[in-house]
Structure 1
């Protein structure tokens, strides 16, 4: 997501001819978009995206369990 934000900022600066980016080549301005595509392809291929989603689900699940135990008076393990 950071790469997309950087790409949009650089693209706007190049289009508006603002600052030193106005003199850069277009491939340098568009490079963050290519890097973002490469990152997403790697993240999906390696399972990184799924692993992070499962970790978030597990944290939420444990929080629900801890809250339910606290509501009925059982001590949590934390």
Structure 2
């Protein structure tokens, strides 16, 4: 996610030609878009990071349900 924020910030700074980013090549930003695509489509899936996050959310919800059940 931080990579996406950096890409958006650099795109805005380059588009509005702010300071030293006015001379930044668009190819750097396109390269970051490519890196983000590769990360989210291939690397994250290969290491199971996408499923791990979903599993953690389900486990948290399950623990909250158990806690509510036993409090009553």
Report if TM-score (shorter chain) is over 0.5: yes
TM-score (norm 1): 0.77
CA RMSD of aligned residues (A): 1.4
CA contact (8 A) 1:7 1:33 kept: yes
Offset of residue 57 of structure 1: 0.4
* Rg larger in structure: 1
More helix as a share of residues: 2
TM-score (norm 2): 0.83
Structure 2: gaps spanning 5 or more residues: none
Offset of residue 2 of structure 1: 1.8
Structure 1: gaps spanning 5 or more residues: 72-78
